[in-house]
């Protein structure tokens, strides 16, 4: 027992959850469709959340689960939550802060409800935008111009390592049952400012070019393939022009140190933009 199962173990957040738990000497098992990509020295099992039966062997002797839900719909999350509740005692779910979704109409709300109704102890992590989303601009940064909609949209992007650090803190200390934590970076930057900071970290001038939303819609649809998600992303970005995503102090309160800044994130990831 005391084993912690980490899903999404090769992703932006999960790989840091795995490495931080392993560095703390905790008993961690990584769950992934491609376990060969899990860091060396960590127990890794092959499984697919779209095939809930693959979760059952992975849950043997597991007490706590770090759960992320890939994709844009609730899908078979009910079976996954029920499999987890059948064997583990608690779950830390990587949910999201979705502006305007106070009633939980998104798939994040659906999954939170499934977990609340289960017998599991739970903590929900609700980050706003990930700093890692800006990696989607890498090709354009290399060309020196980022053409994207809503340059004045302002967000408090969070470093994925901070989300992981909060997850590890919650998984390894008491007092977080039934808590939902809104997580952001330490301050707000417009998208045009984010591009400037990336340029400074990379050591080249990168210009922002405003893209009409309709053109963005077509491009994003081709890339993401999910009309509802594209519409909701564009509406959300537009809303951040007039109502910026505000920084919370939750990371600092929980970890006892300031949240990592977007500049720190960009400097660490400069090689990804070169």
Ligand X SMILES: NC(=O)c1ccc[n+]([C@@H]2O[C@H](COP(=O)([O-])OP(=O)(O)OC[C@H]3O[C@@H](n4cnc5c(N)ncnc54)[C@H](OP(=O)(O)O)[C@@H]3O)[C@@H](O)[C@H]2O)c1
User: Applying CB under 6 A, which residues contact ligand X?
Assistant: 7-14, 32-34, 37, 48-50, 68-70, 94, 96, 127, 129-130, 133
| Sheet containing 179-183, strands listed edge to edge, beginning at the edge strand earlier in sequence | 43-46, 28-32, 3-6, 62-68, 90-94, 121-127, 179-183
**CA-CA distance, 165 to 252, in Å (whole number)?**
11
Q: Which is nearer to ligand X, 68 or 91 (CB)?
A: 68
**CA-CA distance, 187 to 252, in Å (whole number)?**
12
Q: Which is nearer to ligand X, 48 or 205 (CB)?
A: 48
Q: Which is nearer to ligand X, 4 or 68 (CB)?
A: 68
End-to-end CA distance of the chain: 44
Q: How near is the Cβ of 72 to ligand X at its closest, in Å?
A: 8
Residue number, nearest CB to ligand X: 11
Which 8-state DSSP code applies to residue 151? T
Q: How near is the Cβ of 8 to ligand X at its closest, in Å?
A: 4
What are 43's strand-pairing partners? Answer: 29
Cα 83 to its chain centre, rounded Å, is 23
Q: How near is the Cβ of 205 to ligand X at its closest, in Å?
A: 26
**CA-CA distance, 212 to 69, in Å (whole number)?**
31
Q: Which is nearer to ligand X, 97 or 208 (CB)?
A: 97
Q: Which is nearer to ligand X, 207 or 233 (CB)?
A: 233
Q: How near is the Cβ of 4 to ligand X at its closest, in Å?
A: 16
Q: Which is nearer to ligand X, 12 or 191 (CB)?
A: 12
Cα 88 to its chain centre, rounded Å, is 22
Long-range Cβ contacts of 192-195 (<8 Å, 24+ apart): 192/151, 192/152, 194/134, 194/155, 194/157, 194/262, 195/134, 195/137, 195/141, 195/146
């Amino acid at each position: 027992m005391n084993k912690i199962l980490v899903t999404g173990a090769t992703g932006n957040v999960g790989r840091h959850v795995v490495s931080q738990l392993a560095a703390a000497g905790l008993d961690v098992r990584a769950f992934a469709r491609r376990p060969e990509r899990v860091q060396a020295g960590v127990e890794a099992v092959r499984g697919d959340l779209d095939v809930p039966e693959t979760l059952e062997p992975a849950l043997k002797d597991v007490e706590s689960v770090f759960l992320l839900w890939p994709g844009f719909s609730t899908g078979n999350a009910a079976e996954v939550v029920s499999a987890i509740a059948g064997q583990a005692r608690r779950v830390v779910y990587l949910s999201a802060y979705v502006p305007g979704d106070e009633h939980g109409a998104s798939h994040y709300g659906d999954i939170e409800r499934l977990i609340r109704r289960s017998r599991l102890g739970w903590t929900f992590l609700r980050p706003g935008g990930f700093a890692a989303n800006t990696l989607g601009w890498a090709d354009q940064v290399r060309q020196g111009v980022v053409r994207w909609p809503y340059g004045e949209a302002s967000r408090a992007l969070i470093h994925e390592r901070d989300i992981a650090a909060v997850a590890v803190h919650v998984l390894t200390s008491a007092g977080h049952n039934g808590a939902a934590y809104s997580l952001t970076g330490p301050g707000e930057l417009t998208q045009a400012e984010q591009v400037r900071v990336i340029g400074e970290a990379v050591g080249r001038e990168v210009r922002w070019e405003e893209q009409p939303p309709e053109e963005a819609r077509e491009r994003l649809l081709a890339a993401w393939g999910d009309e509802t998600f594209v519409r909701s992303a564009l509406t959300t970005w537009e809303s951040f022009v007039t109502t910026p995503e505000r920084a919370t102090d939750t990371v600092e309160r929980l970890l006892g140190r300031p949240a990592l800044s977007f500049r720190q994130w960009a400097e660490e990831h400069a090689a990804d933009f070169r």
